[in-house]
Structure 1
Amino acid sequence: MYFDLKCENLLVNIQDPHRPVCKIGDLSLSKVKQQTLVSGGVRRTLPWMAPELLSEKSNMVIEKIDVYSFGIVMWELLTGNEPYLNIHCASIIGGIVNNILRPKLQHGEIPNGSH
């Protein structure tokens, strides 16, 4: 598990623009185990944090937290925006935990598949 997947931690080599290579940097929070006990409060960047990391219901997390963060990264790459940029931290936490806050796509932001 990586625990801190976000665009700031992605390194992209575009020497060959048809085959860019992306690598993940800043492995300080990554974990090797499949299930990891998380304690000590918020350790990641808030907008990319999965509900499991923000909820007090469980201290055990699995690789799904990186899947959530990957989705936020894909949204960020698609829109060119930072998620929840003008929203207060407490509102972000409450919205993510209660499953009522997710980044939105505006009309015209979804690629139509033609190149």
Structure 2
Amino acid sequence: MLAIDKNYKINELVYESREIIIYRGERLSDSQAVRIELIRTKYLSSDRLLSLQNQFNIMKKLDSKYILKAIGFTSCKNDFVLILEDFSKSTLQDFFRQIDARCLDSENLDNFLRLFLPISIQLAEILSELYTHNIIHRDLKPANFQIDLQTQQIKLTNFGHALLVSEQGQIVTNPTFEGTLAYASPEQTGRMNRGIDYRSDFYSLGITFYELLTGKLPFSSVDPIELIHCHLAKLPISVSTVNPVIPQVLSLIVAKLMAKMLKIGIKVH
């Protein structure tokens, strides 16, 4: 097994591709479980390297129970190594796919809400943490939230597209798209004559809530151009229309989060 660093022990190979190798291991000084990502520079563009450095710097800035901890960013021979807290193997996407909100009815709604509501509160608190630290994540989606299956604690990860902005909450120009198109805000697509601010993450949170509550995305097109048009101009079918057993108040919250125009979107104070 490859020796990454004398301070860490590798226990398990998780994933390997041409560009990256992911291990699980532990820090020898305190047996802290870690996730070790070895990035092969031979296949690494300068933009990708900047993204990795940006991810580490922003995650290191955050000290929160809701954010996956960044432990180290170092080199191994000619490659780069990102060392992260190893929190959970499960994502919010995995968790809710097992529940399958498409099967919700009046009989199992209460049990579903007992899971969904505490999780939704954690997601809102995560956005509050980002706002407090002047960070726009730009890639909020169920796959980027890890969940402890025993406690249902949530942690946000994958800050490769995140931005650190001024304390004044400036609007950032966004000439090219970054993130995941299915969850991207209208202004994040780069097709609008305005930049992005914190409210871009609220839109993505709205799509995340929509998917968790209905088991489907608000816009299902696989064509990128059509999907961009949906984000820019179309309103999704409401959550309570997709499934009438979902409380109307949750449907209204999702609609508010997904408001197209900044002036009618969620306000940040």
Instruction: Name the aligned partner's letter for residue 192 of structure 2.
Output: E
Partner in structure 1 of residue 183 of structure 2: 48
Quick check: 1:78–1:109 contact (8 Å CA) kept in 2? Answer: no
Partner in structure 1 of residue 210 of structure 2: 75
Q: Is 2:243 aligned against 1:107?
A: yes
Q: Aligned in 2, Cα 1:8/1:103: closer, same or farther, shift over 3 Å?
A: farther
Q: Which has the larger radius of gyration?
A: 2
Q: Which structure 1 residue ranges, 4+ long, deviate > 4 Å from structure 2?
A: none
Aligned residues: 107
Tell me the SS of whatever aligns to 1:5: coil
The CA deviation string for residues 55-83 of structure 1, in whole angstroms up to 9 with x for no partner, is 3312x211000000000000111112244
Partner in structure 2 of residue 23 of structure 1: 155
Tell me the SS of whatever aligns to 2:164: coil
Quick check: 2:137–2:163 contact (8 Å CA) kept in 1? Answer: yes
Question: 1:86: Cα distance to partner?
Answer: 3.8
Quick check: 1:96–1:102 contact (8 Å CA) kept in 2? Answer: no
Greater fraction of residues in strand: 2
Tell me the SS of whatever aligns to 2:202: helix
The 2-side partners of 1:25 and 1:110 are apart by 29
Q: Aligned in 2, Cα 1:103/1:12: closer, same or farther, shift over 3 Å?
A: farther
Tell me the SS of whatever aligns to 2:163: coil
Stretch deviating more after TM superposition (62-71 or 20-29):
20-29
Quick check: 1:47–1:84 contact (8 Å CA) kept in 2? Answer: yes
Question: 1:28: Cα distance to partner?
Answer: 0.8
Question: 1:103: Cα distance to partner?
Answer: 5.0
Gaps of 5+ in 2: 1-135, 250-269
Q: Aligned in 2, Cα 1:103/1:6: closer, same or farther, shift over 3 Å?
A: farther
Stretch deviating more after TM superposition (21-30 or 80-89):
80-89
User: TM-score when scaled to structure 1?
Assistant: 0.78
Quick check: 1:79–1:109 contact (8 Å CA) kept in 2? Answer: no
Q: CA RMSD in A?
A: 2.2
Tell me the SS of whatever aligns to 2:154: strand
Greater fraction of residues in helix: 2
The 2-side partners of 1:48 and 1:14 are apart by 24
- Structure with bigger RCO (C-alpha 8 Å, 6+ apart): 1
Q: Aligned in 2, Cα 1:2/1:109: closer, same or farther, shift over 3 Å?
A: farther
Instruction: Name the aligned partner's letter for residue 49 of structure 1.
Output: A
Identity of aligned residues (%): 24
Q: Aligned in 2, Cα 1:91/1:32: closer, same or farther, shift over 3 Å?
A: same
The 1-side partners of 2:182 and 2:157 are apart by 18
